[in-house]
Amino acid sequence: MIAVLIAGAVSMLLSLFGTRRLITFFDNLGKGQPILGSEDNGPVHHMKKQGTATMGGLAILFSAFIGWLVAHLRGGIALSDQAMIMWGGVVILAAMGFLDDFLKVRKSHNRGIFWKKKGYITFGLVVLIMIWLSVGTGVSETLSFTRFDFPGWELPKVIWVLWTAIMVWSTTNAVNVTDGLDGLAAGSALFGFLAFTVIAYWAFRNPDVYHLVNPLDLAVFSASMAGACGGFLWWNAAPARIFMGDVGALGIGAALGLLAVTTNTHLLLPIVCALNVMESGSVALQMTVFKASGRKKRLFRMSPVHHHFELLGWPETTVIIRFWIISGVFVAIALGIFIADFTHIADRFAGH
């Protein structure tokens, strides 16, 4: 447990001060986040935010990685192959996001050069990451809800790779879509990482039930991401001094998706990340209604749905806090389901 606390505390402190340095760097550079205008059907009401420092995800991911490493200095916890592959996956997706962020800032336009092809490219990268995880570790290849044997359907390797790739890829995109209001994505991700910290540590304490590969290292990984998001949120809270950018959104989304894969909580992920599902789902619904109506009608005033509520007259901070509450409620539900299932299993083990 001490290693988990060390990871979270170190990551939070590094992120707090590292994010401040990034703000100074971008302020001195005179470059920042471009905002889509009316010509791109963007959130014109956010034009006042144009020029805000971006790529804060660099501070989040760097701080989380250092916090994870420092937690291992105490001893008693192995540098697992599984966690290192997960970090490799996070870095690969974050690098894709960094390239997009760099091009946006350089062009002063909120569409990177790969914006139409980015989805295909990122999915291909995620498939390679899942193959790497399958070949390089003993990760369970069953369809899972709260543990490897529930429902426990053994998936052929090709199907498992495609299924988990869709999970991770969808999560990266959902976090990216959620990152539209100050602190919204970072705050909801913080809840998600705290949930996975509890799940992984619980599995570590009950190995006969969960059979995870190096669960303590997964808990440290998740705690370091939670701490880094917390430190970043100090500066990203409304009114934001810095945005996480695609480098942060894709990296965080990859980490959440990979944690669901490695903790055998595939089907629990949509509940843990319910806010992200709601946000990305609103975009899909908007596009479906718009195309079905011959490009004449829209379900929401603007998607993602957080912009819809802004245009209804809700202040940005009201939308953020209410969406955080929604995220927190669903994370609590997910943990309740996880613990209730454990209680059922524990009773069965005890012969009740």
- The tens place of each residue's pLDDT in the chain, 352 residues long, gives 899 999 999 999 999 999 999 999 988 887 777 765 555 555 666 667 777 888 999 999 999 999 999 999 987 788 899 999 999 999 999 999 999 888 888 776 666 555 567 788 899 999 999 999 999 998 999 999 999 999 989 999 999 999 999 999 999 999 999 998 999 999 999 999 999 999 999 999 999 899 998 999 999 999 999 999 999 999 999 899 999 999 999 999 999 999 999 999 999 999 999 999 999 999 999 999 989 888 888 898 888 999 899 999 999 999 999 999 999 999 999 999 999 999 888 766 665 5
Q: Which two tokens stand for residue 296?
A: 């004449």
pLDDT at 74: 80
pLDDT at 45: 63
Residues 261, 202: Cα–Cα separation, whole Å: 16
Judged by DSSP in three states, 30 sits in: coil
Judged by DSSP in three states, 53 sits in: strand
Taking alpha carbons only, the member of 284, 281, 282, 278 closest to residue 322 is 278
Token look-up 């701080």 returns: 63
Whether omega for the bond prior to residue 34 falls within 30 degrees of 0, making it cis, is no
What sections of 41-80 are H helices per DSSP?
57-72
Domain that residue 28 falls in: 2-349
pLDDT at 125: 94
Residues 251, 95: Cα–Cα separation, whole Å: 8
pLDDT at 351: 56
pLDDT at 35: 64
Residues 148, 151: Cα–Cα separation, whole Å: 8
First to last CA, the chain: 30
Residues 171, 270: Cα–Cα separation, whole Å: 9
pLDDT at 294: 87
Residues 104, 197: Cα–Cα separation, whole Å: 34
Residues 133, 83: Cα–Cα separation, whole Å: 10
3-state SS of 86-154 is HHHHHHHHHHHHHHHHHHHHHHCCCCCCCCCCHHHHHHHHHHHHHHHHHHHCCCCCEEEEEECCEEEEE
pLDDT at 117: 77
How many domains is the chain built from?
1
Q: Which two tokens stand for residue 52?
A: 């805000």
DSSP 48: G
- pTM beyond 0.95, yes or no: no
Judged by DSSP in three states, 242 sits in: strand
pLDDT at 196: 98
Q: Which two tokens stand for residue 90?
A: 């996070």
Residues 350, 345: Cα–Cα separation, whole Å: 9
Taking alpha carbons only, the member of 206, 208, 198 closest to residue 259 is 198
Q: Which two tokens stand for residue 3?
A: 């290693």
